[in-house]
Amino acid sequence: MDHNMPEVTNQPLPSGPTTLCFNKEEFMRSNFNVEHFIMEYRRKVPLESLRNDLRMYLKILQSALVELINKDYADFVNLSTNLVGLDKAINNLMTPLEQLKEEVQMAQKSVDEVVTAVEEKMNKKTEIRNQKVCLQRLMSIIQSVEKIEKLVGIKPSDTEDSMMQSSELSGQLVERVATEFNKLQFHVNKCRALPLVDEIRPRIASITTTLQFSLERSFRHGLETDDTEILRQCLRTYATIDKMRDAEQLFRLYIVRPYMEEIISEEFIVSHPQGLEGLYLSILEFIPKHCSILREVTLGSRSSGGEVVRGYDFLVNAVWPEIIANIEARVPSIFAPGNPDVFHEKYTTSIEFVEKFERECGSQASVKRLRTHPSYNIFMAKWNLPVYFQIRFQEIGGSFETALLAPFTVTTERGDWQLLCVETLWQCLCRCWQQDVYLARLCHRFWKLSLQLLARYTTALADVMATESSEKGSMSKMEIDVNGGSTPASRETGNAQQVAPSQLPVTTLQIVALLVDTQKLVEKLPRFYVEVVQPLMEQLGVENMDLLKESLDESQEALKSPLSRMADYIIDDITSQSCIHLKLVSDTPRLYRRTNREVPTKASTYVAGLFKPIQRFLDEHETVLSQANRDSWMKTVLQNLSSQYLTVTSDMLTSVKKMEESLKRLKKAKSGSGATSQGLSDDDKIRLQLYLDVKQFGEKIDSLGIQKTSIEAYQKLYELVASASNNL
């Protein structure tokens, strides 16, 4: 056979143009599917383009196939020659191969039979060995039972009462019996299902009863006499027979329970001067009185040089469960959440008791066991903290909602706040974190309540400003209807009879108080967080403190958002009151035209009137306004006032100029009018009066502590009247 045939399976596919819409390597995948191929590429390109590209690549494949055949043409031609006689050669090989197959199968069968026989013998040996081990264990059980009965002095015919009356075992004898009993228990557990074990089980039970009774008497005697050696032997023996919890339960039953039942009662709490705290102190006194000897044996001490018996935790497994069981059964009233102040006091006192008890445990491992003990979780679950918080929520939130019913009520006492609602809000925030309200396990809820209070106040601010804006618009319409297009009256001097009697109009004084208090609240919040909230959170090991600060910052920004609207309201109100006096500017031409008045030398009286509302506002709020607010608001008011003053004055000068030109044309049209007037004309007097008024207006601005050069509209106003009066 010729093995020089070309291997075409490993030949790479011929490369095609880069413009092909498909990857040619997909044809070589083992899971290639035509339908999936078409469905995938029809989403990317039109079917016509896919067909054209496939046809193009088919031609490339055909050309590559032709080249391959031409390249190995001689091999392809010799292929038929090389295959001649192949069938005959295969037939010649078939007979010996079949014979070889039969021989191999026979050999395999023989080997399998031998392996099976060996496995059967091994299984029998294993079974015999197991039976021998079991027999040895049964013999050990019988030997141990007989040995223990001999050591203890038990006869098979003894009754339970006679066994209880047998002599007490000495310390060393008890340990020997316990060691032998431990071996007995091991063998019994291994041979649990055998009939012999069931037959001997009553004797084992008798041994167990005798041993436990003897251990119990020794243990109680050691506790009564404070004999550490007896206690060590007993505890070692209990550990040897794997009955450590029995020793702890004995201590709970005979020592802890009588003490706790005597002091834990409602009568004790009522009669003790310190109430519940006194009860807890009496409970804690039990530990040094009755547990010191056991702690010395199980934990060791610097003064004692004796052996330490590990594995016991009498405080956690004996003292603590008995305390909680008696508290639940005998003083359940301490868990009642009806009175939040009393509940808070009892809860904090109880948590302090738990912390003191944990400090008595002596090790972190013991504290961990205490916190995972079922009675610990039961005790903590008894305190209905959600109900307590709900009561506090209604108490705190209700007081704030009541204050919001009349948001502009003034505080009764002079302090940091002017309005009762803001003072109440601050008191509510502080109350959430006060020592007699706050509980560590509710820190997340009190933090949420604090943010809710701030959010509620923010909403109330927005509602107040929205309501006031709508009422202001309604008032303006009513005044226009009544007064025939007069300018809007101020909020403080407007007609009260036009307002609905159910709600009095809000005054600028109230808006200022609300704004100032809100600003003060925003300023106080960061310090409140750092000094009050943050230390409490850090005590609890709260992570992501930055998130808490961010949430508070968001609340602060939300509080700041209505402040600009309040400031605009105040500024608009002051401006509207001052602008009422600007209508007197239009009276200036009437004062000088054809009246033969003297040349003006001082400003008009209306200029002082422009500043009366401003000065009145400053006098009323002098004690509460910050310098920043005062300067900012005054600049804006003066800018608005100057802007309107500029409009009125510009219209006036334009009107005066038109009138002057009209009079000149009229005079020129008259015949024989060659005479000219001496001195200033009426129009010049008007211009001069306007100049004096504007100059006085600037001096008034300076008197308020505001640089008139900082008022852009005033500069334009002054330039206007100055240019109009330059030629006088």
pLDDT of amino acid 457: 94
* Residues 432 and 352 reside in one and the same domain: no
User: Which of 561, 578, 599 represents a domain boundary (last residue)?
Assistant: 561
Q: How far apart are CA 559 and CA 454, in angstroms?
A: 8
* Residues 518 and 620 reside in one and the same domain: no
Cβ atoms 649, 720 nearer than 8 A: yes
**Tens-digit pLDDT profile for residues 415-444:** 788 899 999 999 999 999 999 999 999 999
Instruction: Evaluate if residue 66 carries a pLDDT over 90.
Output: no
| Residue 8 within a domain | no
Q: What's the whole-number mean pLDDT along residues 149-174? A: 57
* Residues 298 and 400 reside in one and the same domain: no
pLDDT of amino acid 14: 81
H or E element, residue 605: helix 605-620
DSSP 325-390: HHHHHH-GGGG--SSHHHHHHHHHHHHHHHHHHHHHS-SHHHHHHHHHSHHHHHHHHTS-HHHHHH
pLDDT of amino acid 217: 84
| Residue 162 within a domain | no
Q: How many domains does the chain have?
A: 4
Structural domain boundaries enclosing 447: 388-489+505-561
| Residue 477 within a domain | yes
User: Which of 67, 82, 97 represents a domain boundary (last residue)?
Assistant: 82
* Residues 436 and 535 reside in one and the same domain: yes
Q: How far apart are CA 494 and CA 478, in angstroms?
A: 11
In percent, how much of the chain has pLDDT > 90? 31
| Confidence tier at 171 by pLDDT (50, 70, 90) | low
* Residues 252 and 357 reside in one and the same domain: yes
CATH number of the domain residue 584 falls in: 1.10.357
**CA-closest candidate to residue 454, choices 562, 337, 334, 309:** 562
Instruction: Evaluate if residue 135 carries a pLDDT over 90.
Output: no
| Residue 150 within a domain | no
Instruction: Evaluate if residue 257 carries a pLDDT over 80.
Output: yes
| Residue 168 within a domain | no
* Residues 312 and 354 reside in one and the same domain: yes
| Residue 97 within a domain | no
* Residues 438 and 476 reside in one and the same domain: yes
**Tens-digit pLDDT profile for residues 354-395:** 999 999 987 899 999 999 999 999 999 999 999 999 999 999
* Residues 537 and 425 reside in one and the same domain: yes
Within 8 A by CB and 6+ apart from 502, the residues are none
**Two structure tokens written together for 249:** 């339960």
pLDDT of amino acid 496: 31
* Residues 532 and 590 reside in one and the same domain: no
Q: How far apart are CA 235 and CA 223, in angstroms?
A: 12
**CA-closest candidate to residue 159, choices 196, 202, 198:** 202
Q: How far apart are CA 415 and CA 132, in angstroms?
A: 96
pLDDT of amino acid 465: 83
Q: How far apart are CA 268 and CA 247, in angstroms?
A: 30
* Residues 348 and 248 reside in one and the same domain: yes
Q: Which of 104-113, 616-625, 662-671 has the lowest mean pLDDT?
A: 662-671
pLDDT of amino acid 40: 85
User: Which of 527, 543, 561 represents a domain boundary (last residue)?
Assistant: 561
Q: What's the whole-number mean pLDDT along residues 438-462? A: 93
Instruction: Evaluate if residue 153 carries a pLDDT over 70.
Output: no
* Residues 392 and 374 reside in one and the same domain: no
| Residue 138 within a domain | no
| Residue 233 within a domain | no
Q: How far apart are CA 53 and CA 46, in angstroms?
A: 11
* Residues 432 and 321 reside in one and the same domain: no
Instruction: Evaluate if residue 49 carries a pLDDT over 90.
Output: no
pTM of the model: 0.68
H or E element, residue 185: helix 171-190
Mean pLDDT, rounded, of the chain:
81
**168 burial type by CB count under 10 A (0-12 exposed, 13-18 middle, 19+ buried):** exposed
Instruction: Evaluate if residue 634 carries a pLDDT over 60.
Output: yes
